[in-house]
Amino acid sequence: MARQDVLALGLAPMILSKCSFPPVVALAVLFSAAISCFGQTFRWNWREARSIGRDQSLRQATIGEQEKEAIVAVIVSQLERRRAGWPPENQTQRELALDTAIEIIDLNDDGTGELVARALGPYLCSPTGNCPLWIFQKRGPGYGLLLEGFGQRFTIEKSKTNQYRDVVISMHGSAMYGDLKLYRYESGSYQYAACHEYYWTALEDVGQVLEEPRVTPCTSR
């Protein structure tokens, strides 16, 4: 919940106790505070969660060589930031970049798609299938970084922030639970906004598998 939403809810009762409002106006004040709070309620569109794999690798993409080289360059720049000693001896960073899965998605409805890229391979991904995930935007002859995350799947939400669709990256923990990180567009890139956990089991009975995930704010396990 944003700070201004907390203030809205916290100040509304105080304002009503200190000031004299007609009943209709008083209800409007409380209603406004409630909308301010609950309008930010997190809802994960889990049915739209997707993953991109080896069948969508940059190597197989039907795009021009100049465009492909621009994408290789920006992915290599991200791989170089991850740790010293990369890549493994039998692969070059260029080959790792070419093996990266990609998908074009228009996130701000301007007619030009942004590039979602998910690195692949045992040297980059966790044993549970979580991998580096980036979103790049075309800028001149090259690409700029919009989002850097880590997970197995991602969801392009229907909600928007500053004209860009919100993005949720899900990190797989097991068959029954995982983490969700919400990103919203602000000041030229996607910023981390909130963390939630999802469970496919009931709170009162972990043996009961749910038809829809139970989503709660992140806590330490």
User: Rounded mean pLDDT of 190-199?
Assistant: 97
Higher pLDDT: 136 or 43? It is: 136
Looking at residue 23, its pLDDT comes to 53
CA 214 to CA 82: how far, in whole Å? 33
pLDDT at site 3: 42
pLDDT at site 11: 47
Indicate whether this model's pTM tops 0.85: no
Structure letter (DSSP) for residue 47: G
Q: Report residue 41's pLDDT band, with 50, 70 and 90 as the boundaries.
A: confident
| Matching residue, tokens 């919940």 | 1
Sheet containing 209-217: order of strands: 153-161, 164-172, 177-186, 189-201, 209-217
Cα–Cα distance between 95 and 91 in angstroms, integer? 6
Q: In whole angstroms, give the CA distance from residue 57 to residue 96.
A: 10
At residue 197, the pLDDT reads 97
Q: What is the pLDDT of residue 1?
A: 44
Per domain, the residue ranges of the chain are 3-38, 46-217
pLDDT band at 63 (very low <50, low <70, confident <90, very high): very high
Give the pLDDT confidence of 130-160 residue by residue, as tens digits.
999 999 999 999 999 999 999 999 999 999 9
Q: CA-CA distance, 112 to 147, in Å (whole number)?
A: 17
| 6 CB-near residues (< 8 Å, 6+ apart) | 37
Least confident of 85-89, 104-108, 181-185, 205-209: 85-89
Q: What is the pLDDT of residue 8?
A: 44
CB 142 within 8 A of CB 92: no
Counting residues of the chain whose pLDDT is more than 90, the rounded percentage is 68
**CA dist., res. 17 & res. 94, Å (int):** 66
